[in-house]
Structure formats: structure tokens, C-alpha cells
Amino acid sequence: MTTSSPPAGDKTGQPAARQQASASPAPEAAAPAAPQTAAPAVAQRPFQQQQGLGAKAQPAQPAGPADAGQADASRAQPQVAQPQVTGPQPAAGKTNPPALRPQEQEARPIPVRPMQEPAPAAAAKPAAQPPAKAVARPVAKPAAKPVAKPVAPTPARAVATTPARAVPAQPVRPPVGIAQPRRRHWLMLGSFLALVVLPTLIWAAYLWLRASDQYVSTVGFTVRNEQAAPSIELLGGLSPLAGGGGAADTDVLYEYIRSQDMVERIDAELDLHARFSRAWPHDFVFAFNPENHIEDLTDYWQRQVKVLYDSSTQLITLKVSAFTPEDAQAIAAAVFQASSDKINEISTVARNDATRLARAELDKARAELTETRQAMTAFRMRSQIVDPEADLAGQMGVLSGLQAQLAEALVAHDLLLDNAQPTDHRVVQAQQKIEALRRLIEAERSKFGAEGQGPAGESYAQLMAEYEKLAVDREFAEGAYRSARIAYETALAETQRQARYLAAHIEPKVAQSATEPNRPWLLAMVAGLLLAGWSILVLIYYSVRDRR
């Protein structure tokens, strides 16, 4: 579809038809319109194509007064507002059509001209009637390059339409100016400088200008056991659990190194007050004040002596810091020696605890044996018989000899009676000898009887009974003593195999360079803390300010 450009010199922006109607005289306005032809070259408007208008060629009608009035009425109707499109602009000196005007120029509503419906077939004039002569009108030349204009669709039957609403002009807001800092902004900046920047600069100056260098000496050790782990434990991975008291000893040693007892011992040996206060008062932050008490020295000790304990491997590592490398190495060696002594003391106490019961049994058996031996000694002193059994055996030998002599005397007496008279002096001597032997035998036998008297006035039966009782007690006491002695020796050997000692895997060395204090880390930490504190204060301030 092609559109024609408005004629030159158009300043009102109205359609060409309205301009011609207003500019031409009255007789010319009453002239009949040009006849319409059914030539296919006639362009159709988009809304005509949508409504189905103009599809068929209309018969030519003669121009008359009624037609002229109808044409004027059609010109007086408002036109449809055309949307603004982008495209080539008209030539210089020509005004834009209403559809191409800027938005700010459309202050007035643009009238819309409805499209006339085609005349019905009955009202149409016969085709044989010759068409009326049309008044020649100046026709505007089309533009060099026609531009297609999108037209809003209209309803099917638009007899009369209301004028479109006027689009209000959008006010152009002035650009926002640059925000100017206020009093609270300057206060925030000042607080940031006073609470964050200034303390950070002061701390940095102290670290690099006044803080003294410190040297670190490292020593590492662990608690070992002399008893070797069984092979089944090594294969099963149970060796860490077989020690029993190894972990407990390491925990005790860890707490002992950090305790006041260790500080007092090392201070008495190396004078920690003098060694830790070498940089005082130049470095009053990292050095120790020599006028402080032992409690302050203990706190400073825990800061200078860092104890690292790995519970899985039971390894203890000490990092001792001092103002000279020799002091650091001496303190580390002293701590290791004191820890070794403490482990030996713990082992001694454990050994004494393990052998206490066996030792008590041994002492009891020894006391019983001593008592029985003392009773045996008293019996021997009272009876004057060292060994009653041996003495009784001797007495039995005497009695046996007397009985043998008596038997010989009886035999000799019987032989004399066969050859001599009973009154023979040889027979009388033989009888006297027999009587003497019998009296001796009776006397010896009386010693073993209840009525006989021993060396101390007791009978041999009583002496033997008492002796046998003492001998049995002595045997039991000796047996108990031997058993207790064996048990004690076994317990002592077991504790010796389980004895613990301190084994060092890192020997204390003299440091070659200073590694503390860690100035960049300390500066970053203090700056971060100050920034975090300042941020919290700012958040609190704004929270309170927003609630008001």
C-alpha cells in the first residue's frame, strides 16, 4: 500500500483533504467528486483490506450537489490517528504527517475519520449513465520512496467514533545531582580513622621499631616402654592400645610442663626472671617484667613455651622462645631433663604400687619364719639339746649297747654255771655284771618314759613333741617365705620390663635466625579485629538511629 506525502508548505500537520477544503472557494467545494474506477492500480488501505471494503470496483457515480455535500461531510470527519513509525523523513521544508509527529507535539486529540460503507446495490445508479465531469484538483505528487504506515485496525462498522484520548505529556525530570557528604558521613570517616587506621599504624610502628627479635628452639620426645609389643599386636595393629598407661603418662607430662612446678624448677635452675626480661623495658609488650610474681611468670611461661601434643601418636613437641638462641636451647634442654625425671618418678611409683602386695606377703612370711626360729632357739636353750633327734638317737645307741652287753653277760654266766659251782667267784662276778647292766638299761629306758627326766627335767617324749611342733612351724614358715620371695622377684622383674622412659626424637638445637614475633600476622590480626569492632559499632549506631 502506498501513501502520498502532504503538500509542500503544510505547517498545520492536517490531512491534505482538509487543507484543500479549507483553502478552496465554496463553488469548488460543491463540485462533484471524481468518479471511482475499478482499475486494479488503485491502492487500498489496510483497514479496508481487513473489513473487506474496496474488494469490488464500485460503479462510477455522477458528481452532484448531494455528492458534493457528502464529500464535504466526509472531509469534516476526523481521521484515524496514525501511530508513529520509523522510516525515511520527508524532504526539507515539509511538515511531518500526524502519525510521524513527536509525542510532545500531539497535545490536541487528533480526530478520526470513519470509513464510509459502500452504497447498496439498489441505490446505485445505472452504469449506462455517463459520469459527471470532475473538477480538476491539484493532486500532490507522491514521495520519491513511499513508506508503509501501520494502521490500527477499526471495527467492522464504524459509523461514528469518539475522538481518542489525549496522551498526557511526560514531564522531563532534571538529572540527579552528585550526593554531598553530610555530617554523619564525616563522623563515620573520623571514627574509622581514629578506631582502625590510627591504632593499626601505631601497632605496625611498634612491631617494626621496638619489638625485639626472639629465637625458637624445638625439642620433641615421647614416653617409651621397655617391654616389646607381642607380634600378634603388631600384626593386628593393636600396639597403640597395648601400652595401657602410655597415653595417661603423656597427658600427665603435658600438664606438668605447663604447671607452676615446672616453672619453679626451671627458674631455680636457670633464673627465668633474668632470661625473659632481657628486652625490658624497651619491649614492654613481649618482654617479662622482672618485678612480677611466680603466677605472672607461669602465665608468661605458657606463652613462651608452646606445647604441641598429638594424642594419636603420643608425641610431644616443645617450641621454646627466648631473646637469645642460647637461652632458648638451655631452657628446652632443662625442660626435657625435668620431664625425664618426672617420668622416672612416675615409673618408680608405678613399680612400687605393682610390687606392694608381693612385698607385703614377703614381709609377713619373713616375720613368721623369724618367730618360729626364735621359738626353736628358746627350746634349745631350755633343753640344752641342739638337736633332740640326734640326742635321742644317741640315747638309743647307748641303750642298744647295754642290751648287747647284757646279752653277752648272760651267755658267759650260763657257761660258768656249767663248769663251776654257783659259789664260784667267777659266777658271782658274772651275776653282778648282769645286774649292773640291767640297772643301766632300766635307767636309760626311764629317760624315754613319762616319769623319766631329761637333761632339763623333761622327758624325751615331751621334748620330742615340742621339738616336732617347732620343726613343723619352721618348715611352713620357710615354705611361705620362699613362695613370697619368688612372687616378689617375679613382680619386680615384671615392673622392670614395663618401666617407662623418655625418648627424644628431636634434640634441642641453637637457633640460627629469629622467627618471632611474626609481625605481618600480628599486624593483620589486630587490623582485622579493629575493623570488625568498628563495623559492629557502626551497625549498632545505625540500628538505634533507624528505630528513632
Q: Residue 416: what residue type?
A: L
Residues 372 and 357 in one domain: yes
Residue 38 belongs to some domain of the structure: no
Report pLDDT for 299.
92
Residue 37 belongs to some domain of the structure: no
Residues 316 and 389 in one domain: no
Query: In the structure grid, which three cell numbers stand for residue 318, read together?
Result: 616443645
Mean pLDDT: which of 329-333, 452-456, 489-493 is highest? 329-333
Report pLDDT for 321.
92
Residue 140 belongs to some domain of the structure: no
CATH code (residue 306): 3.30.1890
Burial (Cβ within 10 Å: 0-12, 13-18, ≥19) of residue 158: middle
Residues 347 and 222 in one domain: yes
Q: What is the pLDDT of residues 289-313, one digit of tens each?
A: 888 889 999 999 999 999 998 888 8
Residues 298 and 355 in one domain: yes
Residues 254 and 397 in one domain: no
Mean pLDDT for 483-505 is: 84
Task: Please check the confidence at residue 210 and state whether its pLDDT lies above 80.
Answer: yes
Report pLDDT for 129.
46
Give the whole-angstrom CA distance, residue 375 versus residue 466: 10
Give the whole-angstrom CA distance, residue 468 versus residue 474: 10
Residues 296 and 227 in one domain: yes
What pTM was estimated for this model as a whole? Answer: 0.49
Task: Please check the confidence at residue 539 and state whether its pLDDT lies above 90.
Answer: yes
Report pLDDT for 9.
43
Query: In the structure grid, which three cell numbers stand for residue 270, read together?
Result: 636457670
Mean pLDDT for 179-199 is: 89
Burial (Cβ within 10 Å: 0-12, 13-18, ≥19) of residue 471: middle
Residues 488 and 522 in one domain: no
Residue 119 belongs to some domain of the structure: no
What's phi and psi for 58, nearest 5 deg? -80, 145
Residues 374 and 437 in one domain: no
Residues 348 and 390 in one domain: no
Residue 104 belongs to some domain of the structure: no
Report pLDDT for 481.
92
Residue 378 belongs to some domain of the structure: yes
Tally Cβ neighbours within 10 Å of residue 547: 6
Residue 46 belongs to some domain of the structure: no
% of the chain with per-residue pLDDT over 70: 63
Cα torsion at 181, 185, 189, 190 (round to 10°)? 110
Residues 372 and 469 in one domain: no
Mean pLDDT for 408-425 is: 82
Residues 369 and 396 in one domain: no
Residues 244 and 309 in one domain: yes
Residue 548 belongs to some domain of the structure: yes
Q: How many domains does the chain have?
A: 3
- CA dihedral for 295, 296, 297, 302, sign (positive or negative): positive
Name the residue range of residue 508's domain: 213-382+498-516
Give the whole-angstrom CA distance, residue 271 versus residue 322: 13
